[in-house]
Amino acid sequence: MKKSLQTGISFGLTSGTITTLGLMVGLHSGTHSKMVVLGGILTIAIADSFSDALGIHISEESESTHTTLQIWISTFTTFFTKMLFALTFIIPVLLFDLSFAIIVSLGWGFMTITLLSYLIAKSQNNNPVKVIFEHLLIVAVVVSLTHYTGDLIFKFIK
């Protein structure tokens, strides 16, 4: 059971962070609209949480090593972790100017990935600095690519 919970939580937090930040940054640079960014966050929280949960479900089934209960625990934990965590990004968007909310959200997301990476590295006796750097680099690449994609969309389709 513990492994199933860890799978769902770690996947949900990671996916919730990277997907939501990427979407927020891309939509912000492409539209500069608070309403569009809020709509995107809600869409991620619902549709992508279901999608990721089903992905974990099918992946766990395909391994043929998990019990039905373990599979469902991973599925539900992934869904609820991703949905609830994605929804936390609504708070800064509601409280602040959109540009500042994006900065706050980036800080929140990078802090979450840092903490999760540290816990994973320590549990596996790996170097936390290396693991944290690797994971934050991936988040930074996603955020950068979505930002520039949003810029291109704004430039050519406005």
**Predicted confidence pLDDT, tens digits, the chain (158 residues):** 788 999 999 999 999 999 999 999 999 999 999 999 999 999 999 999 999 999 999 999 999 999 999 999 999 999 999 999 999 999 999 999 999 999 999 999 999 999 999 999 999 999 999 999 999 999 999 999 999 999 999 998 86
Q: Give which of 64, 51, 62 is closest to 11, Cα–Cα.
A: 51
**Which residue, among 79, 89, 80, has the nearest Cα to 22 in the 3D structure?**
89
pLDDT of res. 158: 66
Structural domain span for residue 30: 2-152
In a domain, 158, yes or no: no
Is position 157 within any domain?
Answer: no
Place of tokens 């991620």: 44
- For the chain, the C-alpha Rg in angstroms (whole number) is 17
Give how many domains the chain has, as a whole number: 1
The verdict on residue 14 lying in a domain is: yes
Q: Indicate whether 28 belongs to any domain.
A: yes
| CA 18/CA 46 separation, integer angstroms | 15
Q: What is the pTM of this model?
A: 0.92
pLDDT of residue 134: 97
Q: CA-to-CA distance for 117 and 57, rounded, in angstroms?
A: 23
pLDDT of residue 141: 98
pLDDT for 133: 97
Domain contains 146: yes
85 neighbors 116 (Cβ within 8 angstroms): no
Distances 73 to 3, 63, 70, 124 between C-alpha atoms, Å? 10, 15, 5, 23
Tell me if 97 is assigned to some domain.
Answer: yes
Which tokens in the block code for residue 148? 């520039």
pLDDT tens per residue, range 92-119: 999 999 999 999 999 999 999 999 999 9
